[in-house]
Structure 1
Amino acid sequence: MKSAVETLNPTRVRLTVEVPFEELKDSLDAAYKKINQQVTVKGFRKGKIPARVIDQRFGRGAVLEEAVNDALPKFYTEAVNEADLNPLGQPEVDITELKDGELLAFTAEVDVRPEIEIPDYSGIEVTVDAVEVTDEDVEKSVEQLRGRFASTKDVERAAQDGDVVTIDLEAKVEGEVLEDGVAQDVSYTIGSGELLDGIDEAVKGLEAGGEATFTSQLKGGSAEGKDAEVTVKVTKVSARELPELDDEFAQMASEFDTLEELKADSRKRLENMKQYDQATQAQERVLEKFLELAEIPVPEKLLADEVQTRKHNLEHHQLGQMGLNLEKFLEIQGKTAEEFDAETAEQAVKGIKTQFLLDALVNKEKLGVNQEELTEHLMRRAQSSGMSPDQFAQAVVEGGQVPMLVGEVARGKALAVVVEAAKVLDTNGEVVDLSDDEDEVETAAETVEAAVEADAETEGDEAK
């Protein structure tokens, strides 16, 4: 077999392949065998029809077509390996010559991963938020914990902010009560914002037995998005009673003996959260700078496929779970379809460039992924997906997505290399040292995953 490569642009090539006819022998034998199992000829047992009879009865052309279809993937793969190409997606194949007994010639155009020159990233400098936990932050955290242990007590007074009211609701659109617009004995905390717009103002000041009418846009149901006249009747008012902030509360709400120990633990947890956020912010900003330094061409078809995948996932998965369609989503976001398409394309470009650049750095630095790193990443992904590690691992293996996870960890290691070489300052001008972060690679992998935001099928298929 002979093959040659023509570069059409930085991300697309044309392979020209010539195959001597004798190399089609195995595929021809397979074609005759397959046709033998599919047809019957009087005077011959099934599967025992001679090749010459098949040629006479069904045409040599049918055999050649079957043989070529069987052989093309193998010859294409050999040509790709010989040229040391990294193809993306499926090729467009054109058979240019087929001479029975002499020659098979074809061309194959395919997008390829571009050659990327890794830019010098040693001069990257970014600024991130300082890690500062105030007394007010600690008090807020303790108050949130205190709120979880609150009790309620029925009161005979007008409802006010923070009270829990029991209410009956009736919604009318154009004067007609909606079938799904009636609800009774609904428990609602005033100020929580969990029900309809305008309900807080309507119920505040009402005592048990009082009612009010207000207009609100419905957020769900048969008349979603329409303005409705809503009548709300308060049947009970309950006041929330918070436990005293003392050592007894600390013992009830935590493993600590004193309130001061509880506050110290809250401060430590807030510091850890802010340090995690700071590390993520540093990684995101370093990645942005790294991408700006590199020249990375993006294949048009890969970009189009990625944009389509993102839109499909949003419409049929994320929005579907929220009970929204794309039109309603754009209305809520205050965006036009054109603005949405432009943003989706921009995000897709960033995702593809991130993969290309970090994969190139993985290859240059020969960054491997060990079993411990892969297992840790798998467990984190399982946790975020709501599955047990065993369930997630089984799904990954059955879906052939182990290379996808390996790629995510490897890209995280590549980003960690760039971050370690960068200068990171906080808003106080202090140098931020991220080298002691035990989870540096894993947090970097999560940062890369957020930037890439690719569908699993796309990653496992073409974008590796």
Structure 2
Amino acid sequence: MTQKWEKHEGNEGTLTFTVPSEDFEKGLDEAFKKVSKDVSLPGFRKGKIPRKMFESRFGVESLYQDALDFVLPDAYRKAIDAEDINPIDQPEIDIEEIERGKDVVLTAKIQIEPEVKLGEYKGLKVDELDTEVTDEDVENEINAMLESHSDMVIKEDGEIENGDLVKFDFDGYVDGEAFDGGKAEDYELEIGSGNFIPGFEEGMLGLKVDDEKDVLVTFPEDYHAEHLAGKEATFKVKVHSIKAKEVPELDEELLKELDKDVSSVEELRESVLKDLQAEKETARDNKLREDLIMLASDNSEVDIPEVMVKNETDRMVQEFSQNLAQQGLNFEMYQQFSGQDEKALREQMKDDARKRVKTNLTLKQIAIDENFEVTDEELNAEAEKMATQFNMSVEDIKRTLGDLSMLKDDLRLQKVVSLLVDSREQ
């Protein structure tokens, strides 16, 4: 097998490569097995036609495309590995020469990762989060813990207040016409959560069970559904039930529920203080890394192909769908209550996808410039760490991950991030 890479202007190039004649012959064998199953001739049962008779009747050329389908993926992978090419999209492959008994010659037009011109990435200066935990922080956390153990109690005669859980019907109109997604029955909403259009939840305050009201709102100018953006709307609302949170007192029994390792309120405060301190330090470290990575990325220059933005957007949409599924939702349900279709969601994600791509390319280029490599010892140590974390054997971890190339890339990028942190201006 031979191959030749010719780089063109921009992020494109042409890869010329061959499929050895013996490999192509194996592909012809596989192609005949596949095609002959559906071929019938007088005197022969379907799938039993002799190879020579098939080729005499239909020509060996009729097998070429199926043969290529068998051999091309492996030949293409070997060719790009040999030339150390990193394609970012499916190639456009053309057949230059194809004849039985000879090497098949193919060309592939390939888009590759763009070149990155790095800016400053060492000695960067970023602001760090304050990790001080105040008495007020501790009190707020304990109050939140108590609130999480609240019971929702029905308010028979009381009015709707912030924090109440309200079940109601609503029917929305714009310019006197109903609109898609603007109607629901027995909908539950925590008032003050900010989940509805600005002004809607405020318009519910003060209502009682069985009250009806026209709540007037204006959709934001940047609302995701363009046909509603900036429009005034009327929602006809009828309240069915109101539930209020009843926060329990912090007694000895509840104290044990909140933290089984404490025996007094003071010990609970100390435990909460310790946990909050650890959370703030983790938040500080995470933000420090994120800010340094973003600054290094901002300092770099790269012409990002749109196909990379599209591919990253695809991944983000998939992640979004998985997060919805974890909440017991699907995209259709999300679309119904948000009024945002997939096209709008993709457009919303596009800028973040572009930033992700630029960041990943920047970190990768830093790793190359710094000659960061991952040793087998480091790779095995990380596999052992993961095995402990997931309660699996090292062998199972390696089987799950496959060739460990992704793990190796992650470890290499961790070295880049450590460099950014260790070299920062303090």
Contact 2:21-2:104 at 8 Å conserved across structures: yes
The residue matched to 2:142 in structure 1 has which SS? helix
Distance 1:405 1:376, change over 3 A: farther
Distance in 1, matches of 2:82 and 2:245, equals 77
8 Å Cα contact 1:118-1:360 kept in structure 2: no
Give deviations 1:362-391, integer Å, cap 9, x for gaps: 9633356545634656898x8xxxxxx78x
**Cα separation, 2, equivalents of 1:358 and 1:325:** 44
Cα distance in 1 for residues equivalent to 2:308 and 2:68: 28
Q: 1:127 to 1:40 in 2, by over 3 A?
A: same
**Matches of 1:75 and 1:229, distance apart in 2:** 65
SS of residue matched to 1:57: helix
Deviations 1:108-146 (A, max 9, x none): 122334566877743233221121111211121122223
Shift of the 357–43 alpha-carbon distance from structure 1 to 2, 3 Å rule, reads same
Q: Is the 8 A contact 2:386 2:397 kept in 1?
A: no
The letter of the residue matching 1:243 is E
CA change 1:78–1:261 in 2 (3 A) is: closer
Select the residue among 263, 281, 297 that pairs with 1:257.
263
Instruction: State the identity %.
Output: 21
- Structure 2 equivalent of residue 16 of structure 1: 16
1:88 deviates by: 3.5
Q: Do residues 364 (structure 1) and 349 (structure 2) align?
A: no
Q: Deviations over 1:375-411 (max 9, x none)?
A: 656898x8xxxxxx78xx999977x778586257425
Paired residue for 1:228, among 235, 241, 256? Answer: 235
Q: Is the 8 A contact 1:248 1:258 kept in 2?
A: no
AA matched with 1:406 = L
**CA deviation after TM superposition for structure 1 residue 7, in Å:** 0.6
Residue 26 of structure 1 aligns with an amino acid whose one-letter code is K
Asked if the contact 1:127–1:424 (Cα under 8 Å) also holds between the matched residues in 2, the reply is no
For 2:132, the equivalent position in structure 1 comes to 132
> Equivalent residue for 1:434?
none
Q: Helix, strand or coil: the match of 1:423? A: coil
Does the residue aligned with 1:130 lie in a helix, a strand or coil?
A: coil
RMSD over aligned Cα atoms: 5.2
2:211 and 2:338 map into 1 onto residues whose CA distance is 35
Note if contact 1:154-1:238 (Cα within 8 Å) is conserved in structure 2.
yes
- In structure 2, the residue matched to 1:438 is none
C-alpha spacing 1:415/1:54, structure 2 compared with 1 (3 Å): same
Contact 1:5 1:16 in 2 (8 A): yes
Alpha-carbon distance between aligned partners in 2 of 1:268 and 1:227, rounded to the nearest angstrom:
49
Q: TM-score, normalised by structure 2?
A: 0.69
Kindly report which structure 2 residues correspond to 1:54-203, keeping only aligned pairs within 5 A, or say none. 54-102=54-102, 104-113=104-113, 121-149=121-149, 159=159, 169=168, 171=170, 183=186
> What is residue 274 of structure 1 aligned with on the other side?
280
Inter-CA distance 107–417: structure 2 relative to 1 (3 Å threshold): same
Cα distance, 1:403–1:205 mapped onto 2, change above 3 Å: same
Number of residue-to-residue matches in the alignment? 398
1:96/1:105 contact within 8 Å kept:
yes
Q: What's the counterpart of residue 301 of structure 1?
A: 307
- Name the counterpart of 2:382: 373
Q: Classify 1:247/1:80 alpha carbon distance in 2 versus 1 (closer, same or farther; 3 Å).
A: closer
Gaps in structure 2 of 5+ consecutive residues: 178-182, 220-227, 325-329
Alignment correspondent of 1:441: none
Q: Name the structure 2 match of 1:346.
A: 354
Question: How many angstroms apart in 1 are the aligned matches of 2:306 and 2:246?
Answer: 59
TM-superposition CA deviations, 1:187-240 (whole Å, max 9, x none): x8876668896566656496xx89563526699xxxxx9632224477x89784
Closer/same/farther in 2, CA of residues 66 and 360 from structure 1, 3 Å limit: same
Using the alignment, how far apart are the partners of 1:297 and 1:280 within structure 2? Answer: 28
TM-aligned CA deviation for residue 150 of structure 1: 5.3
Distance 1:280 1:36, change over 3 A: same
Give the conservation status (yes or no) of the 8 Å contact 1:377–1:409: no
Any conservation in 2 of the 1:11–1:298 contact (CA below 8 Å)? no
Measured against aligned partners, the alpha-carbon deviations of 1:441-464 in whole angstroms (never above 9, x if no partner) come to xxxxxxxxxxxxxxxxxxxxxxxx
Structure 1 SS opposite 2:270: helix
String of CA shifts for 1:68-123, please: whole Å, max 9, x gaps: 44333343334333323333443211112235555532211223345668777432
**Which residue identity does 1:228 align to in structure 2?**
F
> 1:39/1:254 Cα in 2 relative to 1: closer, same or farther (>3 Å)?
closer
Displacement of 1:60 = 3.2
Where structure 1 has 5 or more consecutive residues not aligned to the other structure, the ranges are: 220-224, 331-335, 383-388, 426-464
Change (3 A) 1:411 1:216: farther
How far apart, CA to CA, are the structure 2 residues paired with 1:189 and 1:81?
56
Q: Is the 8 A contact 1:168 1:232 kept in 2?
A: yes
Asked whether the 8 Å contact 2:87–2:112 carries over to 1, the reply is: yes
**How far apart are residue 16 of structure 1 and its match?**
1.9
CA distance in 1, matches of 2:204, 2:163: 14
Aligned equivalents of 1:75, 1:56: Cα separation in 2: 29
CA contact (8 A) 1:27 1:70 kept: yes
Moved more, 272-281 or 21-30: 21-30
C-alpha contact 1:32 1:63 (8 A) present in aligned 2: yes
Contact 2:255 2:263 (C-alpha < 8 Å) held by counterparts: yes
Partner-residue secondary structure (3-state), 2:133: coil
Q: Please give the alpha-carbon distance, in whole angstroms, between the structure 2 residues aligned to 1:195 and 1:37.
A: 60
